[in-house]
Amino acid sequence: MKASTPFMVLSADKPELEMTSFERCSRRTWFEHKLAQLGYSFKKVAGSHQGKPEISFIVLADNDEELPALYRLAAAFDQDSVMYVDANGYAALFDSDGQYLANLGRFVEVTEDAAQNLDSYTFAGGKYYAIQ
């Protein structure tokens, strides 16, 4: 993967919260509204996290000064962690306080078959991505 703008992958989903599809949709809409209100460039994407389907948001993180507000937003939506992908495609996991948790590997394009056999993947722009 060539160098690009760093980004974070965040979600408003929280599977352990038993919500109706309307409540889940409303939560995602509110999350999207907050991202726009804060001025972030983002894209809504589909995927899977820990084997459960979810809608996530890829949020461009042009500089480190933008990260604290994203961590606070993740915390406000009860997220345990967020994924940060640097300009070279290397991914790391951070908690919603911005504390480093773990290196994950490289965020790379994979085939649909490969993605469907993984617990976690992202589907964006007609392509599948996962950590390798």
Give me the mean pLDDT over the 51-68 stretch.
Answer: 87
Give, in degrees to the nearest 5, the angle at Cα 118 between 114 and 120: 120
User: What average pLDDT score do residues 7-27 get?
Assistant: 83
Name the region of 25 (left: φ>0; alpha: ψ -120 to 50; beta: rest): alpha
pTM, rounded to two decimals: 0.88
Is residue 62 classed exposed, middle or buried when 0-12, 13-18 and 19+ CB atoms within 10 A define those classes? exposed
Say if residue 82's pLDDT is above 70. Answer: yes
Q: Find, among 10, 15, 53, the residue nearest to 32 by Cα.
A: 10
Do the Cβ atoms of 115 and 130 come closer than 8 Å?
A: yes
| Three-state helix/strand/coil letters over 52-100 | EEEEEEEEECCCHHHHHHHHHHHHHCCCCEEEEECCCCEEEEEECCCCE
CA of 33: how far to CAs of 25, 42, 54, 101, 116, in Å?
A: 12, 11, 18, 28, 30
DSSP state of 18: -
pLDDT category, 1, cuts 50, 70, 90? very low
What are the residue ranges spanned by the domains of the chain?
Answer: 7-131
Q: Quick check: 3 pLDDT over 90?
A: no
What are the tokens at 36?
């726009």
**pLDDT over 70 at 88, yes or no:** yes
Q: Is 4 helix (H, G, I), strand (E, B) or coil?
A: coil
User: Which pLDDT band, with edges at 50, 70 and 90, does 132 fall under?
Assistant: very high
Average pLDDT over residues 98-115: 96
> H/E element holding 24?
helix 21-37
